[in-house]
Chain A
Amino acid sequence: MSTIALKVNGKDVSAEVEDRTLLVELLREELKLTGTHIGCDTSQCGACVVHVDGVAMKSCTMFAIQADGAEIRTIEGVAQQGALHPMQAAFAEHHGLQCGFCTPGMIMTAIDMVRRLGSDLDEATIRHELEGNICRCTGYQNIVKAIQAGARAMASQ
């Protein structure tokens, strides 16, 4: 067991973790941040994407201990002062979800996409960037639309 200190959604957190505890387990089981989902258990579906020091990361593919000293943002920390982030608002407006299970990971990936590639995203880029996020319900059409709109809204903020 090791003690780690990290910042999660702006709050200082310290936790006792086993060396093999995954970051997603820490978030969900210890910190009760259950908006980060586990879909495939094997780092493929992207339902567990969070931001580690601002970078999108599949939290089932990282040990909690590797997050020692890091700043983590989960889906619960994306809205600020009760107002949805423009990317969240765009997913809601464009019906970018059905069962909702992939949605938090999609939003975290999308925000990171804009950070890296800017807000003027063409459809092909978005589709390519989403290859690590599986949605089984929507056929992706509304997700792609939502990301395009959300990216533009982020630029005008």
Chain B
Amino acid sequence: MDLGDIVKGSPPPAVVHKPKPHDSAAKHMTGEAVYVDDIRTPAGTLHAAPGYAPIAAGRVTKLDLDAVRKAPGVVDVLTADDIPGANDASPKGIGDEPVITPERIMFYGQVLFVVLAETRDQARRAARLARAATAPGMPMIDVDDAVVADSTVLPDYTFERGTPEDEIASAPRQLGGEFRIGGQEHFYLEGQVALAVPGEDGDMYVYSSTQHPSEVQHVVAHVLGLDSNAVTVEVRRMGGGFGGKESQATQWAVIAALGVRKTGRPCKIRLDRDDDMMMTGKRHDFRVDYKVGFSREGGIRGVDVTFAARCGYSEDLSLGVVDRTMFHADSGYFYPTVRILARRMRTNTVSNTAFRGFGGPQGKLFAERMIDHIAYSVGRDPLDVRKANLYGGAGRDRTPYNMRVEDNILPEIVNELERTSDYRDRRRALAEFNASSPVLKKGIALTPVKFGISFTLMHLNQAGALVHVYRDGSISLNHGGTEMGQGLFVKVAQVVAEEFGQELDRVKITATATDKVPNTGPTAASAGTDLNAQAAMAACRAIKERLFDFIEQEWGVGRDSVQFREGKVIIGNRAMDFGELAELAYRNRVSLSSTGFYKTPKITWDREKATGQPFFYFAYGAACSEVTIDTMTGEMRVNRVDILHDVGKSLNPAIDIGQIEGGFVQGMGWLTTEELVWDSAGRLMTHAPSTYKIPTASDVPEDFRVALYESGGNRADTIYRSKAVGEPPLMLATSVFSAILDAIISLKPAVMPRLDAPATPEAIMRAIRATGAGDP
């Protein structure tokens, strides 16, 4: 073999684009993978349990903790008075989320005190013994309460183009409506948990199940009155996150650290599931009011929509979440004139937060609801109205925030799925079925997804990595992203292995830790791989630059004649093990360690003026769902789902298909079975999986066809031309919601009933009754 020939061509990638298993798969098989609750705790570790407010609004007038302190095993009790620094767990440090509330109660379940005991059981039992005297206020529970009271966490915000009210008024057809979109509990299978261990000089080492270790670090420091360099936060993996551990993990890590500060002993907290569901934020629920003007064929002329979001008692991430609702209120459709107004309502409920899609799914659901409404009113197949309103070329390519959609592939994706799902034939077959089936009715819908990739808070679009090569050629990888099951770690490791031409098993993936890579953003916005893989590649390339220089100096071979591949380094006509080169480089005093940094190029966003290009690119997809409903009971089954989704050139198709399947089912749960219910006193009535219905295996359609869209890759210059995949597939599930509506409409065509999300059997029955079908 003439090695000289080999180095001329660039070899195809050997590790990226391959369906590599999750990096921890083997450990998950045997139970060896360690979550925070599995870490062997140091001797003397205390366990913390929260005591909480028994009302949704008002004040604590007296908190009697005598019985708590005297309970077996209790070592200490934390109250607001024990907080040395700022009593604030809010992500922005604006003081609206007390770690332990001193007096004022803002939601049912707010933490009033924390018990520290020898065992978790003792701490939880003791927490029940507190006697709190309260002066209750009048709680605002849902969006309507807050609208009446004009109570908001942030000012209203609007996107506006043209004069939609004029266009709507002068359009041949107009319609409007109101509907509700429910929230969603994350139900990460591993609940909130943290373990804090004291170090020297008052330092704190915190193991936290968090998507945002840097924020936990900064808030712990802020609350304890320490510099950030005194606090280290580590997370190897989470048992699911879905956005529920972006800001919501912080409070519990802070409480563990406060326990350490007060007692000098290690301290752990793992929330009971019912407490977790009661005390941590969820997906925002909305009231949506809209008006639209359109042509006789259903072409949209103007849209005027108002979103009112239940944000809960504090701001948390509601600025970005509800902005993203606005950014995605277009789904994939061009609105010639438009006004999108969003109101962020403050209520006496838990503070709603990030959840996969970050507000986007709610915006998109509105758009699909509106399109369905238009289609049924003009008597056209909703798919035809969808296609007629998709973004197009010049003149039809500006979003409501005036960004040009330059990479649109929705027409191609929708057409291809229409064909592969056999939509038209099935539409005809379904009409025949419905004509002969008095009770069971079928519906079908094909809906597009267009999701903007980048954090809309610009400074979060950065990442860091740290790569070491050891003298034996083994590689250690660290970066600021966190692993919650999404496969980020294996994807980044694939990129690193590819850079050095090594097998994947030569790359050791290490736990995310704030003392290795500092000042990171949350692992969120689907951007984990886009950001961290680029940072890791930059670190690898810095090391390779030094190796190229060393090789040139040692053997006189230029970089064009050097390749890292198949475990070897090929240097002109010479091949050596990577480890051999590493050893030689070490002996010649070449540094084999580097940090890497990446910031997303091109993006700009001026929120004040609502202009810029907030997204580096869009991820696209489409889904076609068919359902059957029982019009006597409201029961619903999804019969078949076809998905075509765009992940660019996939870094790991097995991981990406898993994200698509899982995202779709999670979205389907949000829109069909997962219903959050608060009573008028502000108590969450659905605080366990017994009453809050998460999809099980039997809820998933047996006929579930997922395909990746074949493309030349992302048009934006992303890592190996791949696309982000974490959140977009969740929105494919709006096809189920539209299909349910389609089935209901078949009872009485052209009567558009109100259908709220989730479309539970009760909601479906309400909609059926609203059509007046079967009325004499």
Contact = CB atoms under 8 A, between A and B. Distances in A.
A136 B700 contact: no
A34 B34 contact: yes
Contact of A98 (B34, B662, B664): B662
Contact of B239 (A95, A101, A139): A101
Interface string B265-283: 0000010111000000000
Contact of B664 (A78, A92, A139): A139
B189 A99 contact: yes
Interface string B653-685: 011001001111110000000000000000000
Interface in B147-190: 186-190
Given A34-B37, A79-B30, A92-B29, A100 B22 contact: yes
Interface in A97-129: 97-104, 107, 123-124, 126-128
Contacts, number: 179
Contact of A95 (B37, B190, B486, B654): B654
Contact of A36 (B31, B121, B487, B666): B31
B238 A88 contact: no
A133 B697 CA distance: 8
A141 B28 contact: no
> Which of B31, B32, B658, B666 is packed against the most chain A CB atoms within 10 Å?
B31
Contacts of A58: none
Given A32-B40, A91-B29, A104-B31, A37 B697 contact: no
B576 interface: no
Contact of A131 (B37, B238, B487, B697): B697
Interface in B686-718: 688-690, 694-698, 700, 702, 704, 706
A150 to B, nearest CB: 11
B28 A97 contact: yes
Interface in B213-258: 237-240, 242
A84 B337 CA distance: 61
Given A39-B273, A101-B35, A136-B242, A92 B24 contact: no
B690 A127 contact: no
Nearest to A104: B31
A142 interface: yes
A134 B191 CA distance: 14
Most chain B CB inside 10 Å of its own CB: which residue of A41, A93, A127:
A41
Given A45-B689, A95-B21, A100-B237, A39 B189 contact: yes
Nearest to B665: A139
A103 B29 contact: yes
Contacts of B457: none
Interface size class on chain B is: 35 or more
Given A34-B38, A98-B662, A138-B661, A39 B191 contact: yes
Nearest to B667: A139
A97 B25 contact: yes
B31 A74 contact: yes
A130 interface: yes
A75 B31 contact: yes
A63 interface: no
B194 interface: no
Contacts of B658: 95, 98, 137-139, 142
B651 interface: no
B632 to A, nearest CB: 24
A14 B696 CA distance: 37
Given A100-B239, A127-B697, A140-B700, A33 B189 contact: no
Contacts of A130: 696-698
A144 B698 CA distance: 10
B488 to A, nearest CB: 11
A42 B690 contact: yes
Nearest to A20: B121
Contacts of B19: 95
Nearest to A122: B702
B31 A33 contact: yes
A7 B242 CA distance: 38
Contacts of B274: 41-42
Contacts of A76: 30-32
Contact of A143 (B31, B694, B697): B697
A127 B31 contact: no
Interface of A: 20, 28, 32-42, 44-45, 47, 74-76, 78-79, 84, 88-89, 91-93, 95, 97-104, 107, 123-124, 126-128, 130-131, 133-144
Given A45-B189, A138-B658, 5 more contacts: A32-B40, A40-B689, A76-B32, A97-B22, A100-B24
Interface of B: 19, 21-22, 24-35, 37-38, 40, 121, 186-191, 237-240, 242, 270, 272-274, 484-487, 654-655, 658, 661-666, 688-690, 694-698, 700, 702, 704, 706
